[in-house]
Structure 1
């Protein structure tokens, strides 16, 4: 079987042998002879693969992210896959994703143990599935339907990974490199992060249809119309956004001097908490809490009504926890402020610590205590919390909190709030990644976010993703971030209906695959 140019920009398949000879070639030869639609031949097609790998590194939500690269790397890999036989195309795509994933994870500083390398390979295999589905189905379906295979399958995979794996949206969604594109970003208030991923993935088969001259005018017109409508609607939503009242909020991180003093006093490296360790640890941890309380008082005196600490900023022994809370409550009453405290409580037994956020009200009450729901796989030994976001009414709107990695899970972050605090603690290799991902939770749910962090990038955004403040822990010696936060959020369609769009993509991907198989069996 060979693919020939047909009239009107289409293709026709001409049988060059009898049926018995064709059947004898087996499944491998049948698949390898299909869908050679591109014009890159010989070694030239490997240029598309090389370009796809390079662009994938820049087009994924890492420290080298380039928003435009996120739109085009799938296009290049698809050109390679369609220019190759099924087995070579599949192997090339899997290899490309493996290289890009390993480079990104290594750059983040996370590639430290063999299980993580194995995880990279498994993740690469999964991320390859949408391109492989396109490779197998692109000639078995009508052209317009064929262009939907890749985006529907990609979104289905992203959604299932974010919902049922411990990775959340860290390395999955294509959309996460678009956190600064405000008109496009408004789409997630309807579809979640997956709507932008769909548009970005859809570009690859549409452009390939144009290059292959396969009913390209109608396909291109449909894509341009949908993209234009999304950008216009997003711009209109931004233009009509109200201007609510604001409250002065300060994010407080420990000074580097206090951290150095703490490390100088703490010489214990064993997870076992023994009686002889406690006095030394108590003295070391006091360096952190004293510094935090002093900075909190300073910002409260300067006019901040809400003060937020990063994840595990204060470290206290379980025995000292009641006394620590008493000090925090007295400070809240004295300054008439809300305190959102990121704490690590060191305790005997397993797990050795609790990673919590505590909200203290101006009347000295403990409004809520939230345990981190999603420990970082392979890095944190914690007993997860229930993942229910506590929301408290206040004169400054409804206040809630998550902790760091929890904001990478759209389902966990769903809450009806006005301001959500995300105390975090990163490291240089993931500073941009986590900060960018958090922006999507704000727009999805219609609340403002203040993400105060140690060892990373602290940000504040409103309910539309508009940047309000940003502070790089590594580029500044002053680790307080002061911002005027809107006291009212907004209702969103996504906040009401959840992941309906993502489930439709799951159903669509399954339906397109079934239709392709059915059409193939009939032919």
Structure 2
């Protein structure tokens, strides 16, 4: 007997529900790192909240989970530097977290109707963001990062860190949906909207004043040069030595592309053997790469730069080349009377196996007298991507003729708790050699600028594969260079020397901790009440 397929429209969301859910998905994608459109970060949570709280949909959370999964995959593709299977697994995990966030909000919001109930969703969302920052990834996925286009708003991070910005965005969504749900109670809505609006207005007034007042006016400034030498020629020659075939790497090639995966096959035997005869073209290109860094550094010194900064791991050397490379840097700094921050990858040869740390990703900071002032190792290698041993977690401060300077490397700046050291130590200038790729530029650079606002310090971020900038303690960009524009990757910035005290550097993540306590308290009280009622009923 044949069974006819029957379509029951009651099992599927109505068009309005689909529209609201898809609006949230598209808004979240447009606010994500690849596009980083600030306004859409305010729209996405509101759409999801309305869908979960208000829309009468069967299998509501199953549809929501599917939508969240699509959202996370689309937001992460070519952004996260992981293979597709890993990216899919991570997207599923993040989707489940997002589902829990909106699920517990649905549960709590059904029990409370007052304006105070609007605080639960933002507190829970910030709690989730903060916990994610501790267990991996830093603040990469914090919604606050999308707000760089609103310079007055982001000044709030000098008080609360990014957590205050995230709280305001999520709170906006909660207040909006609460107002819709309680639209018959106009008096209560007016009071609630007035409270939120007053806090947002006060935040923007504070931000406007801070952003437009220069507390360092009249201070000494220093000319800093940033340098990157592209690695494409080195990698292409290495692959030709390995395979006998030619390959072309486009500058905007995806980090997960098949081209780069193919090139990586050539790097493994080169690193394992250090065979300079078999890989003669690649080895020659490696030496020429390092020579080019010094050649551009010489141009920078001749044009008046007092501090010269290379991009992350731009100098490439085997362990047996390291001493000569650093010696050359010392001679250069002494002869040109400059501060030179050499950012290098030192390779230990031998068989590569899973988990082996064979790269030393570090900076060597040399003074005008030719002496090494500091050696810094990257504190947070990118998980599953960088095979390098992490540093000790400390961020040093080096006293120079141009103020107090601290080094960090790229991904380190995604961890605001660790970066608070530069605020506590009153760093004047953070030198941040970095390495990005097309899909995360300029987003990743803008993330680093938040660390300067939080801690009252200037940031000079020299990035290969991304946007290089010099920004002050307010996040104002004074100079920049886009890696993807034609021409030599050499640029200059006049950076004001000085440190501005911030409240965040003193209280740290207090706002995030308050959100955690509030969330746990509300969930605990309601869970206890539910268990007690169930016990009495049974």
Q: 1:142 to 1:229 in 2, by over 3 A?
A: same
CA distance in 1, matches of 2:48, 2:273: 56
CA contact (8 A) 2:233 2:285 kept: no
TM-superposed CA distance for 1:236, in Å, is 1.5
Q: Is 1:178 aligned to residue 147 of structure 2?
A: yes
Which residue in 1 is equivalent to 2:273? 274
Which residue in 1 is equivalent to 2:258? none
Residues 398-420 of structure 1: CA distance to partner in whole angstroms, max 9, x if unpaired?
A: 11111111111112222231111
Q: 1:275 to 1:140 in 2, by over 3 A?
A: closer
Give the secondary structure class of the aligned counterpart of 1:375. Answer: coil
Match of 1:210 among 175, 179, 183: 179
TM-superposed CA distance for 1:209, in Å, is 1.7
Which residue in 1 is equivalent to 2:220? 245
Which residue in 2 is equivalent to 1:456? 466
CA distance in 1, matches of 2:63, 2:525: 26
CA distance in 2, matches of 1:84, 1:444: 39
CA distance in 2, matches of 1:64, 1:74: 17
Q: Is 1:48 aligned to residue 20 of structure 2?
A: yes
Residues 256-307 of structure 1: CA distance to partner in whole angstroms, max 9, x if unpaired?
A: 7865786478645325532634783653321111000000011111000000
TM-superposed CA distance for 1:329, in Å, is 0.6
Give the secondary structure class of the aligned counterpart of 1:64. Answer: coil
Match of 1:68 among 33, 39, 43: 39
Give the secondary structure class of the aligned counterpart of 1:354. Answer: strand
CA distance in 1, matches of 2:433, 2:42: 31
The answer for unaligned runs of 5 or more in structure 1 is 1-40
Match of 2:136 among 131, 148, 166: 166
TM-superposed CA distance for 1:378, in Å, is 1.9
CA distance in 2, matches of 1:208, 1:519: 26
CA contact (8 A) 1:318 1:347 kept: yes
Residues 226-273 of structure 1: CA distance to partner in whole angstroms, max 9, x if unpaired?
A: 000101111122233321321100101115786578647864532553
CA distance in 2, matches of 1:306, 1:488: 16
TM-superposed CA distance for 1:317, in Å, is 1.2
CA distance in 2, matches of 1:142, 1:515: 17
Give the secondary structure class of the aligned counterpart of 1:167. Answer: coil
TM-score normalised over the length of structure 2: 0.84
**Any residues of structure 2 matched to 1:30-429 within 5 Å, and which?**
42-60=14-32, 62-84=33-55, 88-108=59-79, 110=81, 112-163=83-134, 165-171=135-141, 173-212=142-181, 213=183, 215-242=188-215, 243=217, 244-254=219-229, 259=234, 263=238, 267=242, 268-271=266-269, 272-274=271-273, 276-277=275-276, 280=280, 282-349=283-350, 350-414=356-420, 415=422, 416=425, 417-429=427-439
Residues 333-376 of structure 1: CA distance to partner in whole angstroms, max 9, x if unpaired?
A: 11111111110001124322111111111111111111112121
CA distance in 2, matches of 1:486, 1:453: 21
Q: 1:288 to 1:487 in 2, by over 3 A?
A: same
Q: 1:105 to 1:250 in 2, by over 3 A?
A: same
CA distance in 2, matches of 1:119, 1:192: 26
CA distance in 1, matches of 2:431, 2:99: 35
Give the secondary structure class of the aligned counterpart of 2:36. Answer: coil
TM-superposed CA distance for 1:189, in Å, is 0.7
TM-superposed CA distance for 1:146, in Å, is 1.4
Q: 1:251 to 1:484 in 2, by over 3 A?
A: same
Q: Is 1:511 aligned to residue 521 of structure 2?
A: yes
TM-score normalised over the length of structure 1: 0.87
Which residue in 1 is equivalent to 2:255? none
The answer for unaligned runs of 5 or more in structure 2 is 1-12, 243-265, 351-355, 534-538
TM-superposed CA distance for 1:217, in Å, is 1.5
